[in-house]
Structure 1
Amino acid sequence: MAHVIEKLETTDLGSRQMLDAPHARLAYLRKHQPVSWAVAKGLLQGKGGYLLTRYDDVMLIHSDDRFSTDMLRNSPAGKFIWLVPPSLRMLAETMVFKDDPDHKRLRTLVHKAFTPKYVATLAPDITAIAERLADEVAARREVDLVHEYAVRVPLSVIATMLGVPDSERDRFHYLVEKLGDEQFKLHRGYPTARKLAKLFENLIEQRRRDPDDGLISQLIEANEDGDRLSHRELVSMVFLLLLAGHDTTANLIGSSVLALIQNPDQLALLREQPELLGGTGIEELLRFTSPVADGAARFVLEDLEIRGVPIPRGSQVIGSITSANFDEEVFDNPEQLDLTRKPNRHLAFAFGMHYCLGHQLARLEGRIALTTLLERFDHWELLAPRESLRYKPTASLRGLINLPIRMY
């Protein structure tokens, strides 16, 4: 297959171009080479894998059982997982990296705790958190909105969901942000992950002794025909909820503020019709910002062909969600932010059995966080040239490193 790969263009998904301004390159690939080759440190192992950029093809790998997310079973690196420290190994054992029936079992159990009814009860807490942080923004006016608002809203919400005591909040926030910086540098991230795992184990043991109505207690009690999450699965699930729910929502909030500043007509429309954030508005911001850029790599379980390109069994394949959400064959004028866009079949939460379990919470947090800023501040002003802004150095997620802004 080497001669086939050599004919494919190669894209480094971790390059500064693809992190900061990927759309021109992705549009070129959609048109000229919808199946190409990609390298991405921390996302694709070894020499890389096949990159899919058209909407229908990205949908395919999320819905076809010839593609597996189970890297422990299908990746050569899976044979050496025992060398990875236990705290980090648990991150590879979450349901994100499981196929059915293991994935279905875990998702069924977690869904019994993480219900729409439970998520709805969080609205008052999210509102209080957003308003408190908005007070701090108002007091200073000039802030880095990423670190002082976008990151802190979901982080505070997760701390509340997990029942992290007030005395541990500062340490919890510090460890989570530190792990976020280290998650693709395994050896550096181990001590932080170990400390977080210990904190989670303590919270789980405390809830076993003294149950409450919080998420951990509900996860402990969740059962299906007598089946329950093991202690290790509980810790892994808390890790997953933390990492999947914290960074992505922060990305959505920060990138949405930037998108609205760059599209003043849409910001004005939102001020006139704030209720759009409860419907088409938040869906369009999810499409336009794509907080999850690429998602997890898939492993091909049998020889197949996509767009005339043969892909052998065992290959890694990745679908660009950012590209799919800008596919001209699916979205009219995809490069334009249109808060009234309908229909909007975006893939911001993926598709199929791996559809994001926390989609309702992400929508709720995004709506409340942005509505709070709209209600509190009439003026949003970017304090740095747009071209100077940088995105986080991770190929899987897409979010701003910082966003210097003046709000009053």
Structure 2
Amino acid sequence: MTCPVTGGGIPPGPELFTREFVADPYPAYAHLRAHAPVHRTTLPSGVEAWLVTRYADARQALADQRLSKDPRHSEAAWKQGKVGVPGEQRSGVGAHLLNLDPPDHTRLRRLVSKAFTPRRAEDFRPRVQELTDRFIDGFAASGEADLIHDFAFPLPIYAICDLLGVPEEDQDDFRTWAGMMIRHGSGPRGGVARAVRHMRTYLRELIHRKRGDLGDDLISGLIRASDHGEHLTEDEAAAMAFILLFAGFETTVNLIGNGLRTLLAHPGARAALQREPDERIGPAVEELLRYDGPVELATWRFTTCATPIGGVVIPAGEPVLVVLASADRDAERFAEPDKLDLSRADNPHLAFGHGIHYCIGAPLARLEGQIAITTLLRRLPDLELADPDAELRWRGGLIMRGLQRLPVRFTPEPAAKPGPEPTPPAPAK
């Protein structure tokens, strides 16, 4: 289904949700910001929703408590589970931070924050570097790679599995389930639903096993977390592990993939980053998040009462989608918003949201993006698109924005020489 940006006296503009729109949604969003900044449209799923496209309105909506995250405030299609993550509510993993309002959200966020801290993410830096080098080692000698399949996808899934405490022998299963969720996100619902069920069953079993043998991983931290003596229930812990796994890994896949694609399209900016990677990578990743971020629209919200946004009163019970990709290209907030400026200093982008639902995994995503991009450009300095004239395809979907593939070529790294045989351990006495 395609939806022309017309109606209500709005000049005709680019159509929404076409193949061309998915490849480059920014002209359509610019038209909406100019002519219909709060716009009601019919989504490809058939659900009608309001799109909020200007920065100031988006920031207000993201923090407005009249906009609920609880699908029970939504229209009948949502209550029947016909949209959203298929099977999420029925599977028992729907009671997570993205679907809750205060006071339940406040309680769970406080509990989870005790286990998932910026310090924990920073302590994970050596492991992220180790995984990054391992995946680059897998293709560096070949002279070509698909940076999504070979790099941007496996790195965050194995990193989040390590952080959660998923045993190494089970992590390939998580890669398979995560792949099903990404591949079928806008396609056959059965693939996503099966992946959700597999993850739910596994996470509940893992939490049950860990209760008797707590370690230093995030799931053990979730189990330990308490607030005035109140612990997470097993279902709550499973739901939280699920959303940290799913949201955490796909956001980072797209951050790395979109960021590398943007740098390949801007050789001057990329060369400046390669000259001074340590000094430039922090603001560079923030600009890549703003310019073509991993999350196109914030997750669903629903009006609990008639709510004015941007001069439009949205009736109660209506779905609202805050368009982060549009807000972060708003000239009212960002100078030359369509220009990539890796040294941009004033950059309060909304790529990770705003307000009480600000992404709790943002420190880890930033860390992985910084390490992945600087390491890849250092090791493969002449990286380029395998076919500069080929059209890159984007995964269909509504919330996330990410590439299907990113084929590249480069001068192969010399194969590593085998090191000396390790010294065998001394016999036990």
TM-score range, shorter-chain basis? over 0.9
CA distance in 2, matches of 1:380, 1:248: 23
Task: Indicate the residue corresponding to 1:128 in structure 2.
Answer: 130
Q: What amino acid is aligned across from residue 332 of structure 1 in structure 2?
A: A
Deviation (angstroms), 1:92: 3.1
Whole-Å Cα distance in 1 between the matches of residues 104 and 256 of structure 2?
A: 33
For residue 148 of structure 1, what is the aligned residue in structure 2?
150
The answer to whether 1:7 aligns with 2:8 is yes
Q: Please give the alpha-carbon distance, in whole angstroms, between the structure 2 residues aligned to 1:34 and 1:287.
A: 19
Match for 2:31 among 28, 39, 45? 28
1:253 has 2:265 as partner: no
| SS at 1:373 equivalent | helix
Q: Choose between structure 1 and 2: higher helix proportion.
A: 1
C-alpha displacement of 1:7: 1.9
Q: Distance in 2 between matches of 1:352 and 1:257?
A: 28
Determine whether 1:266 maps to 2:269: yes
Q: Which amino acid aligns with 2:234?
A: H
Shift of 1:134: 1.0
Contact 1:277/1:371, CA 8 A, preserved across alignment: no
CA distance in 2, matches of 1:155, 1:88: 24
Q: Which runs of 5 or more residues in structure 2 are unaligned?
A: 1-5, 412-429
For the 8 Å contact 2:75–2:318, the answer to whether it is kept is no
Query: SS of the residue aligned with 2:333?
Result: coil
Distance in structure 1 (CA, Å) of the matches to 2:343 and 2:90:
42
Q: CA deviation at 1:317?
A: 1.6
What is the Cα deviation at residue 238 of structure 1? 1.0
Partner of 1:19: 22
Provide the TM-score with structure 2 as the length reference: 0.88
Question: For 1:93, what is the secondary structure of its paired residue?
Answer: coil
Q: Number of residue pairs matched? A: 401
Instruction: Measure the CA separation in 1 of the matches of 2:389 and 2:397.
Output: 20
Pairwise CA distance, 1:55: 0.3
Alignment partner, residue 164 of structure 1: 166
The code of the aligned residue for 1:101 comes to: P
Root mean square deviation of aligned Cα: 2.2
Shift of 1:247: 0.8
Task: Please say if residues 74 and 318 of structure 2, whose CA atoms lie closer than 8 Å, have aligned partners that are also in contact.
Answer: no
CA distance in 1, matches of 2:264, 2:273: 12
The one-letter amino acid paired with 1:383 is A
Instruction: Look up the match of 1:100.
Output: 102
Aligned to 1:50, the other structure's residue is in SS state strand
Moved more, 33-42 or 83-92: 83-92
> What TM-score results when the alignment is normalised by the length of structure 1?
0.92
Q: Paired residue for 1:119?
A: 121
Shift of 1:72: 2.4
| Aligned partner of residue 141 in structure 2, secondary structure | helix
- 2:89, 2:183 → 1: CA distance? 16
1:8 CA displacement: 7.0
Q: For residues 106 and 271 of structure 1, do their structure 2 counterparts lie closer, same or farther at Cα, with a shift above 3 Å needed? A: same
- Kindly provide the amino acid, as one letter, of the partner of residue 337 in structure 1: L
Matched-pair identity in %: 36
Please state how far the C-alpha of 1:88 moved relative to its aligned partner: 5.2
Shift of 1:26: 0.8
Greater alpha carbon shift after TM alignment, 11-20 vs 174-183: 11-20
Tell me if 1:209 matches 2:244: no
Contact 2:156 2:252 in 1 (8 A): yes
After TM superposition, give the deviation of residue 80 of structure 1 in Å: 3.5
Over 3 Å counting, the alpha-carbon distance change for 1:53 and 1:86 in structure 2 is closer
AA aligned to 1:218 is: G
Q: Distance in 2 between matches of 1:106 and 1:11?
A: 41
Which runs of 5 or more residues in structure 1 are unaligned? none
Largest Rg, 1 or 2: 2
**How do 1:151-300 and structure 2 match up within 5 A?**
151-184=153-186, 185-300=188-303
Q: Residues 66 and 305 of structure 2 are in contact (CA less than 8 Å); yes or no, is this contact kept in structure 1?
A: yes
Q: CA deviation at 1:385?
A: 3.8
Q: 1:219: how far off?
A: 0.5
2:294 is paired with a residue of what secondary structure? coil
Which residue of structure 2 aligns with residue 312 of structure 1?
315
